[in-house]
Amino acid sequence: MSETGLPDYLAKFQAEDEERVMSMFDESEKELALQLYEPCKITPADLQREYSPEEVRELCLRTKVRVNMRDLNCLWDAKERLGPRLDNRSESYTNRMLIKSVVRKMVEPYTDEEVAHYNLVKRSWLKKRNIMRLECWKRERESQSESISVPSLVDISSQFDSATDMLQLDTEHPEPLPVTFAQPMPLSVVEDTGEHDVQNVTQSGDLENVYMKTEPELWGIGDESDTVSLPSESQSQQNSSVINVPDMDWVQAGLQINSEALSLQLLNSTQSQPILSEDYNQFGTQVAVASTQEDASTLLDV
């Protein structure tokens, strides 16, 4: 174990990786790059972290599993070195060339120590990435819960404000305000005038005089938009009295004009139509014989 608390090979690999990343930046940018790289470094706390069953389930459901067949594969290394010579070649030829490269030791299989070191680095990086995923998902859930809870708090505060406003109104106006109403007309006056009007209408039939007489008495009763409604029988009597009998002279003159025009039209139509022959011997000769009818000559012979 190194001073950092990490395995020696992992600490060495991480230091080399940090130097490689810092070499990609200028001197003025290295400080900022180092600040961004520090959260991504593997720490002993990350390696000692244990997942809960809920976290394991979440990682299994939300993390994709990929198998990289190129890592620690000497045949893939040989294929990359041969490169252009394997283009447009058959599969059997490619396999023979790969076997030949291993037999001639152009490439060598990886040792168990190299595989162990490689697996150590990969497992450490995978655990670091999983911890970062869990933290990110946790922040997302918290942000969603906050976004849901904020409107509810706003509603509660608004309701509280409205309740306080109602309490203030109650304290400002503890007693109800006085309300004034218009005094109604005595029922006796209305009933007397109504009976008098009905009697006058039934006796004399003069609706206009009765209305003019009772109109001043009805002033002030009801709203301005109210109108006086009359009985249907009295309205029909008034309308019948207003309508005058028209003069029938001009009506008779119009009927005479229409009858004369109609007779002229009938005369013209009868004159324009051709007069058919009344000779019964020629009956049926002016119409072409259909296929279902007999010839006219056969009919005459009979």
Does 208 reside within a domain? yes
With beta carbons less than 8 A apart as the criterion, state whether 99 and 93 touch. no
The pTM score is 0.46
Residue 278's φ and ψ, nearest 5 degrees, are -100, 10
Does 193 reside within a domain? yes
Q: What secondary structure letter does DSSP report for 4?
A: T
Does 200 reside within a domain? yes
Phi-psi label, residue 47: left if phi above 0, alpha if psi -120 to 50, beta otherwise: alpha
| Orientation of helix 74-82 relative to helix 91-103, angle to 10° | 110
Q: pLDDT for 154-210, tens place per residue?
A: 555 566 555 555 545 455 445 555 545 445 555 444 444 444 444 444 444 454 554
pLDDT at 276: 52
Question: What gap in Å lies between CA 225 and CA 218, rounded to an integer?
Answer: 14
Does 209 reside within a domain? yes
pLDDT at 144: 87
pLDDT at 224: 47
Does 205 reside within a domain? yes
Question: What gap in Å lies between CA 156 and CA 289, rounded to an integer?
Answer: 100
Range of the domain at 192: 187-217
Count of domains in the chain?
A: 1
With beta carbons less than 8 A apart as the criterion, state whether 78 and 98 touch. yes
Best CA proximity match to 198, nearest among 231, 171, 162: 231
pLDDT at 68: 86
What does the pLDDT profile of the chain (302 residues) look like in tens digits? Answer: 666 778 888 989 999 998 999 999 998 898 898 888 888 899 999 999 999 999 999 999 998 888 888 889 999 999 999 988 888 899 999 999 999 999 999 999 999 999 999 999 999 999 999 999 999 999 999 988 877 655 555 555 566 555 555 545 455 445 555 545 445 555 444 444 444 444 444 444 454 554 455 545 445 444 444 444 444 555 544 544 444 444 556 656 665 555 555 555 555 555 555 555 555 555 555 555 555 554 545 545 54
